[in-house]
Amino acid sequence: MDGRYRLEDARGSGSGGIVWTAFDRKLKRTVALKRPHAVASQADRIQFRQEAEIAARVHHPNVISVFDTVDGDECWLVMEYSSAESLDNLLAAGGPMPVDRAARIGVQVAAALVALHAKRIVHRDVKPGNILVGDQDVAKLTDFGISIWREETRTGDGTFSGTPAYAAPEVADGRSATEASDVFSLGATLFAAVEGTPPFGTGDPGEVLRRVRAGDMLPMRRADRLAPLLSRMLTAEPGKRPTAEQARQRLQDIAGEWVVSSPPVRAASVPFWRRRVCQVVAALVLVVGVGAAIFLPVDTPSAEPSRDVPLGTGLVGDERTVDPCALVDRKAMERFGPAKLDPTYGNFNRCDVLINTGARESVDVEVQIVTRRAADVHGHPGEVIAERPGDSDECDRTMLLDDTYAIRITANMANPTADLCAIADAAVHMVSKAVAGRQGPLPRRATPLPQDSLAQVDTCPLLDKTALAQLPAIDPATATPDVGNWACKWYSPSTPTVVHLRYDQHAAKDPISGEKTQLGDHTAYVKLDVDSGASCTVSVRHQPANQQWRSAIDLMVLTVRGDRRGEEYCATATSLAASAAAKLPR
């Protein structure tokens, strides 16, 4: 298929099309290929390509990813492969499920809808058949945004696009589906999961649609704690339904602190930005190659669960003037050994405590303010996300401050001789004390960041569409800035490729690792990542003319990471770094 995909097995045939497993010869992986039953017209093909491009921009662990299209004699969609069973098959085999289990599945599907709606995508056909449920009830939503797949049902009134038993009243009435329609369909799906039948019954499609329009809903007998939420989701007026995010939050309350268990995974000693912290309460799916993480209220005496900490509001304020060292109490960390505070050990949003435990190297405790969007963490303010400890040179914790910000705490040491997680937990307790009950913002920096430093330069504008065109897989529209706009990431909608540009402060007396090269007026250093072997990093010195001497110099650091060998990215990373460096002030 297209010289790239080798068809293997037909997995099944539904109303929308036939699904095959296939082998991707280029990326050496199994994928799913789907084609419609009907022959597509030229207009269908154009719409198919446009819709697939939009769908491919959605990245969420509870959504089946769209990778590619093959538009030859037939329209094929290339998707993430999942061996999971559809929810309708589970219900057919096992009957109605308990409320807790339905809520666990529902909270994940709601999270998927939040991601779709954020991209202005309406699914239009949420139903049990489009929800895959795998091991430990990890759920994924599929078949979104591609109109050619939607089931068409002939009724006495004509042709209806969608599934009558799960359609919202406005859709049954002939109006276009909206985000509120998706919420209704999810409510109908959860109704069927706990009651054993859709809310408006089954049978002749036209009769089902009539009952939907009339609001002739079956009574709820088994929904229990779900009943109030389902009633709101299934209300006839779209404006009175909860949003997908509101539904997700309520479903999370019903599901409780559900945790997907997983075997310990060795966490590579890599920077924070390269690991997606997976908070399972929000139902993120663990992916091979990513540091496994769990939602974990810290229960050691030194770090009580921060959800019990009455956090203040408006703590961060102006991102470029807030002092991250205001979160640090050096003396609180001295029970592990003599400690020294260093505000110039990393990016401008970070403050470090170096602890001498008697070993050859110090333990470095990093405390940095991050945005939750850039860090990709979910949960309620006050919660702590902890990576599962393993045979690692670091231990990581993330405390959620509010809906926008989080505090990232990392204790690291090469070949550690100290208990890094005990130190990280003590740091969590330290930060909790700094923010608990505080009214108003954290203290500002005593000394403003220098006007001639990179702290005054936004990262995202340094790479424009022309520069990023060197990596066609990267979508420039995915630019995601972090605190102070001192870091920016760009993503690929179809591959694991990521471009990460950020600043660093480096001791002027210390050498910079990597192979030295010249990028115009800037000296740079190119380095392969020996841990993952799948990225290349270029560090660029920034020392404008007439800059006063400082003990730390600014670096612009650019990394390209993907699923190929790191050396394959070095030429592109160097070229991108050159483009970004050319825009730095001189």
Helix (H) / strand (E) containing 186? helix 179-195
**360 burial class (0-12, 13-18, 19+ CB within 10 angstroms)?**
exposed
CA–CA separation, 237 vs 249, rounded Å? Answer: 21
CB 488, CB 480: distance < 8 Å:
yes
Query: How does strand 85-86 pair with strand 131-133?
Result: antiparallel
- Own/partner contacts of 549-552, CB < 8 Å, gap of 24 or more, are 549/508, 550/450, 550/508, 551/344, 551/507, 551/508, 551/509, 552/344, 552/505, 552/506, 552/507, 552/508
CA–CA separation, 64 vs 497, rounded Å? Answer: 18
Cα–Cα nearest to 6, from 57, 53, 76: 76
Q: What residues have CB less than 8 Å from 579, skipping those under 6 apart? A: 462, 463, 467
The packing angle between helices 99-118 and 244-255, to 10°, is 150
CA–CA separation, 101 vs 133, rounded Å? Answer: 11
Q: Which two tokens stand for residue 426?
A: 């003590």
What residue type is assigned to position 192 of the chain?
A
CA–CA separation, 530 vs 519, rounded Å? Answer: 23
> Given phi > 0 = left and psi -120 to 50 = alpha, else beta, which region is 386?
beta
Q: 125, 143, 482, 529: which one is catalytic?
A: 125
Detail the DSSP E strand segments found in 343-497: 350-355, 363-371, 384-387, 394-400, 405-412, 475-481, 487-491
Q: For residue 125, indicate whether it is catalytic.
A: yes
Cα–Cα nearest to 494, from 472, 513, 466: 472
Q: Spell 195-231 as b/e; 16+ CB within 10 A means b.
A: beebbbeeeebeebbbbbbeeebeebebbeebbebbe
Q: Which two tokens stand for residue 285?
A: 């799916």
**297 burial class (0-12, 13-18, 19+ CB within 10 angstroms)?**
middle
CB 26, CB 115: distance < 8 Å:
no
Cα–Cα nearest to 402, from 458, 453, 442: 442
SS (H, E, C) 254-281: HHCCCCCCCCCCCCCCCCHHHCCCCCHH
DSSP one-letter code for 467: H
CB 363, CB 413: distance < 8 Å:
yes
Q: Which two tokens stand for residue 546?
A: 């007439």
What residue type is assigned to position 374 of the chain?
A
Active site residues: 125
